[in-house]
Amino acid sequence: MIVRKIGESMITPLGFSVEENFQAVLGMRSALRHYEHCWNLPFPSYLSLIQDDLLEAAFQEEVELTRLPSPACTRFEKLSLLSAVKAVRQSGVDPKSERVLFVLSSTKGNVSLLSEKTVDMQRITPAHTAQLVADYFGNPNTPITVSNACISGLCAQMEAYRCLQSGQYDAVVVVGADALSPFIVAGFQSLRALSVEQCHPFSDNRKGLNLGEAAAAVVWEAAEDHALDTSWKMMGAAVRNDANHISGPSRTGEGSYRALQAVLQRSGLSDKDLACLNVHGTATLYNDEMEAIAIDRAGLASVPVNALKGYYGHTLGAAGVLEVLLTMCALDHGLVPATRGFEGLGVSVPLQVSAEMMKTTQRTFVKLLSGFGGCNAAAAFTC
C-alpha cells in the first residue's frame, strides 16, 4: 500500500496555482514587500500579503456561496475554502464520502476577529473553519485541525498518512492556511523575531524572519503499490520534541535530529538518496543554527539544503504544505529551488545551501520544520 498525491492547490501573492508559484520561484521573485506602518502598526516590516481583490475574485468564481451558512467569510475562511475547493476538484475524490477526511493545519485561524466590537467566540478557533469546510463539501466526518505551531502543515500530512496507512480512510484532504493580522505581526515583533529587511536564511547577516500569508492544500490517497506509478508518495513522517524550551530551539538540535533520524530509519534513506533537504530556514539566528546542527548530526550535511522563506516569508500553518508542494513541483522540472536571500554561510556547520537553482535527476527529498513548544517534524517524499 502506498500513500500518493492526487490533488493540490496553492494560494499566495505569487500565484493561485502551484505551477504559477513555481514559475515565480524560478524567476527568483519574492512576495515580500516593505510596509512602513501596515495596519497602522507602529513599526516597519516586510510582509507577504495576498491582495484582497484578487482573493475575493477567485473566491467568488470558485466557491459556491449558496453552500455556505453565510456568504460573509473572513480572509482565513476564504483561503481555507478556496484552496480546498481547488485541490478537491483536481483530485477527483468524492468529498461527501465517509471514506474521505478533512484535516486543517492552522496556528491562529480567525484570531483577527478578536478586534471586532462584538467578538464571536465560536468562530475564532480554526476548528470552526474546519467544520465549515467539511460542511461545504457535505463531508460526514469530524474534521481535525492540527495546531502544532509552525510544524502544523507537516503534522497534518503525517495524520493523513496514518489515516491512510491504517485503512481508516481512502483519501485525506489536508488544507494549510493562516491569514496575517496585527495580532500575529505585533506578537512576532514583541519577540524581536522580525527582520527589518528581506530575510537571509542561513546567512551570516541574517537578522530574523519575515511573515507571509498563504494557503495550500494537498489530497493524499491510499493506493496499491504499482511500479509504474509516477505520482508523489509520502514515505513517512515523524514528530519529536526538544524537551528544552517553549520558544527557543534546542542548541543541540535535539528534536529535529531525532525526527530526521526516525524518518531516515523508517524510509531506509540516506544522504545519497536525497535530491535536497527542504528546511524551515526562517532566518532567525537560533533556528538556522539549530537546523544546521541537526542536519549534521543526522549525517545529511552533504545534501543540498534549501529554504523558501525568501519568497514567501514564514507562512505559519500553510508552510508545511506549501513548501512540500513547491519542492515537488521543482523536482518534477528536474530542479532544486534556490534559497532566495542567501548571502554567505552563517552557521557553524558547512551546509550545502543552494544559493542558485540547481539541476537534479533525483526525485526524493526530506522536509524539515520546527516550531514553538519545542516541536520538530520531518517527512520524506519520493516520486
Partner 1 sequence: MMKKRITHSVKLTRQTLEVDGKRVAMAVEGEPFLTSLYHAASIEYPKFFKMDLLCKVGFIASEYLLNAEGKERFQPADDRAVLLFNRNSSWNADTTFQQTIVNPEEFYPSPAVFVYTLPNIVTGEIAIRNKYHGESDFILLPEMSEAAMEQAIDRAFLDPATTSVLAGWVEAISEDDFEAFLTITEGC
Q: Which residues bind partner 1 (CB under 8 A)?
A: 40, 42, 107-109, 111, 114-115, 121, 124-128, 130-131, 142-149, 155, 159, 162-163, 165-166, 168, 182-183, 186-192, 238-247, 254-255, 258, 262, 266, 371-375
Q: Convert 63-93 to b/e letters by CB count within 10 Å (16 or more is b).
A: beeeeeeeeebbbbbbbbbbbbbbbbebbeb
Task: Compute the least distance from the CB of residue 363 to partner 1, in Å.
Answer: 25
Q: Which residues, in sequence order, are CB contacts of 361 under 8 Å at separation 6+?
A: 334
Q: Convert 260-293 to b/e letters by CB count within 10 Å (16 or more is b).
A: bbbbbeebebeeebbbbbbbbbbbbeebbbbbbb
Q: Cα–Cα distance between 363 and 293 in angstroms, integer?
A: 25
Q: Which is nearer to partner 1, 321 or 335 (CB)?
A: 321
Task: Compute the least distance from the CB of residue 153 to partner 1, in Å.
Answer: 13
Look-up: residue for cell 520558544? 247
Task: Compute the least distance from the CB of residue 238 to partner 1, in Å.
Answer: 6
Q: Which is nearer to partner 1, 54 or 119 (CB)?
A: 119
Q: Cα–Cα distance between 298 and 262 in angstroms, integer?
A: 10
Task: Compute the least distance from the CB of residue 158 to partner 1, in Å.
Answer: 9
Task: Compute the least distance from the CB of residue 239 to partner 1, in Å.
Answer: 5
**H helix runs in 219-332, sequence order:** 254-267, 285-297, 309-312, 319-332
Q: Give 252: exposed, middle or buried? Use CB within 10 Å, 0-12, 13-18, 19+.
A: middle
Q: Which is nearer to partner 1, 305 or 321 (CB)?
A: 321
Q: Cα–Cα distance between 347 and 204 in angstroms, integer?
A: 7
Whether 95 and 138 have beta carbons less than 8 Å apart is answered as yes
Task: Compute the least distance from the CB of residue 241 to partner 1, in Å.
Answer: 4
Task: Compute the least distance from the CB of residue 174 to partner 1, in Å.
Answer: 13
Q: Cα–Cα distance between 322 and 15 in angstroms, integer?
A: 12
Tally of CB atoms within 10 A around 165: 14
Bridge partners of residue 277, in order along the sequence: 305, 366
Task: Compute the least distance from the CB of residue 118 to partner 1, in Å.
Answer: 14
373 closest CA partner among 150, 158, 209: 150
Q: Which is nearer to partner 1, 143 or 201 (CB)?
A: 143
